[in-house]
C-alpha cells in the first residue's frame, strides 16, 4: 500500500480507499500518455507550467503531480485557493496547465472580470462541467476539458477532447484512457462499470468492497451513455437521478439548462420525496456578478423546452430557490446531501403556506 484516504461523501458516508505503488505508476503512465496525445491546446507538454487548484488530499491531486514530476515540469503551488492569488501567479509564473472543480473555475472567471487569461488549459472534474461554463471560459482564453474519475479510480479513467469551441464535446466525461475497460451495464439502469489495473481493490469494509466489485467490475454509481464517437457521457449519479410521475429526470441535464440563463452563475438540482409523484426536483441557483435572477424567466424557459419535447414536464422544478451560495465539501464540490435537507425544509414551508392560504380562502 502506498496511499490511503477517504471519499468526499457527497451522496453517502465517506469510505476509505487505498492504492499500491504499482497502481500509482500505471495510472501516471496512462494519464501522461493521454495528455500527450490530446489536440493542441488541450494537451500537456514539457514546456507547460503546472499549478494545481485541487487539494493534494483529493485523490492524489487527480494524479497530475506524479505526471508533471515525471516530465520535469515547473510546478507552482499556490497554498489557499484565493482567486486573486491564483490569477497573480498565473501571470507572474506563466502558468499554462491546471485542474479544478467547476466552482473554482467560476470564481476565476468572475475574479478576472473580462481580463484575458490564456493560454491556459484547465481540466475540470469533481462534478459535471456545464457547456455554458466551457463557453464562458473560452471567452477569456481558458480551454477547459472534462475529466472523469472518482476516489475509487485513483482517479482519472476518461478525458474529453474535441474542437476548441465544441462546448458539448469538451464537457463530456470523454474517452477512456489506455488500459481502461469501460462499459454500460444495461441490467443496472445504464450504470458505468470499469476495469483497469489501478482501481482501488476495496474499502475498509469487506461487505462494501464486495458491492463495489460485484461480478468483477468496479461499479461507479454513475448512469452513463456512450456517444456515437465512443465518448462517455455521464447522465447522472444513480443516487441523484430523480423519478417523478414515472419519468426519469437527470439532475445534471436540468442544471445545465438552468445555467443557459446568463444571470445564473451556478445551479444544483436535488430530488425529494413526494406523496403523489414519487419525487420532485428542487432547484437551487446563484446569481452571476451584477445580475438579478428572474425565476419567472427560468420557469418560462423550462416550460418552453417541455412543450418542445426537449425535457419532461415533470422535470420543471417544484421550487427554484435563489440562494446566496451553495454548501460545499472540503474539496469545493457542491454538497448535495446538505442541499437535500434544505430542499425538504423549503418544500415543507411551501406546503404550509399553501395550506394556510386554503384555510383563509375557506373562511
Catalytic residue positions? 7, 152, 243, 248
CB atoms within 10 A of CB 163: 10
* Angstrom distances, CA of residue 341 to CA of 50, 310, 338: 38, 29, 5
Q: How far apart are CA 273 and CA 257, in angstroms?
A: 23
Residues 144, 147, 150, 152, CA torsion sign: negative
Residue 155: cis peptide before it, omega within 30 degrees of 0 = yes
Show the cell assigned to 327: 454548501
- Give which of 331, 189, 350 is closest to 272, Cα–Cα: 350
User: Residues 6 or more apart from 7 whose CB is under 8 A from it?
Assistant: 14, 15, 17, 150, 151, 152
β-partners of residue 224 are 234
Pairing of strands 142-149, 156-159: antiparallel
- List % helix, strand, coil for the chain (3-state, nearest 5): 35, 25, 40
How many CA within 13 A on the CB side of residue 99?
A: 31
β-partners of residue 77 are none
Helices (H), the chain: 21-36, 64-71, 83-93, 102-112, 131-139, 167-170, 206-212, 251-258, 295-307, 336-362
Classify 4 as helix, strand or coil.
strand
Amino acid at each position: 500500500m502506498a496511499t490511503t484516504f477517504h471519499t468526499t461523501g457527497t451522496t453517502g458516508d465517506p469510505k476509505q480507499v487505498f492504492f499500491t505503488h504499482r497502481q500509482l505508476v500505471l495510472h501516471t503512465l496512462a494519464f501522461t500518455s493521454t495528455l500527450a496525445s490530446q489536440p493542441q491546446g488541450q494537451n500537456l507538454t514539457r514546456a507547460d507550467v503546472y499549478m494545481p487548484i485541487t487539494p493534494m488530499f483529493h485523490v492524489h491531486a487527480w494524479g497530475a503531480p506524479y505526471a508533471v514530476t515525471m516530465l520535469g515540469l515547473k510546478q507552482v503551488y499556490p497554498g489557499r485557493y484565493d482567486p486573486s492569488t491564483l490569477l497573480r501567479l498565473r501571470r507572474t509564473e506563466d502558468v499554462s496547465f491546471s485542474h479544478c472543480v467547476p466552482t473554482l473555475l467560476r470564481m476565476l472567471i468572475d475574479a478576472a472580470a473580462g481580463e484575458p487569461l490564456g493560454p491556459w488549459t484547465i481540466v475540470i472534474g469533481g462534478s459535471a462541467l456545464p457547456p455554458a461554463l466551457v463557453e464562458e471560459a473560452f471567452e477569456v482564453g481558458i480551454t477547459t476539458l472534462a475529466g472523469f474519475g472518482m476516489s475509487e479510480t485513483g482517479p482519472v479513467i476518461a478525458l474529453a477532447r474535441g474542437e476548441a469551441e465544441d462546448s458539448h464535446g469538451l464537457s463530456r466525461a470523454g474517452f477512456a484512457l489506455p488500459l481502461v475497460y469501460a462499459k454500460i451495464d444495461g441490467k443496472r439502469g445504464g450504470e458505468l462499470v470499469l476495469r483497469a489495473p489501478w482501481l482501488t481493490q476495496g474499502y475498509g469494509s469487506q461487505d462494501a468492497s464486495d458491492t463495489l466489485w460485484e461480478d468483477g467490475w468496479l461499479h461507479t454509481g454513475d448512469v452513463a451513455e456512450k456517444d456515437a464517437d465512443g465518448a462517455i457521457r455521464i447522465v447522472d449519479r444513480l443516487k441523484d437521478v430523480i423519478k417523478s410521475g414515472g419519468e426519469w429526470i437527470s439532475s445534471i441535464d436540468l442544471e445545465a439548462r438552468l445555467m443557459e440563463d446568463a444571470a445564473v452563475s451556478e445551479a444544483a438540482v436535488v430530488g425529494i420525496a413526494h406523496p403523489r409523484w414519487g419525487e420532485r426536483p428542487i432547484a437551487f441557483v446563484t446569481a452571476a456578478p451584477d445580475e438579478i435572477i428572474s425565476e419567472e424567466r427560468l420557469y418560462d424557459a423550462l416550460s418552453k423546452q417541455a412543450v418542445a419535447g426537449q425535457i419532461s414536464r415533470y422535470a420543471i422544478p417544484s421550487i427554484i430557490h435563489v440562494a446566496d451560495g451553495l454548501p460545499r465539501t472540503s474539496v469545493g464540490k457542491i454538497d448535495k446531501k446538505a442541499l437535500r435537507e434544505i430542499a425538504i425544509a423549503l418544500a415543507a414551508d411551501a406546503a404550509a403556506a399553501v395550506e394556510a392560504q386554503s384555510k383563509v380562502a375557506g373562511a
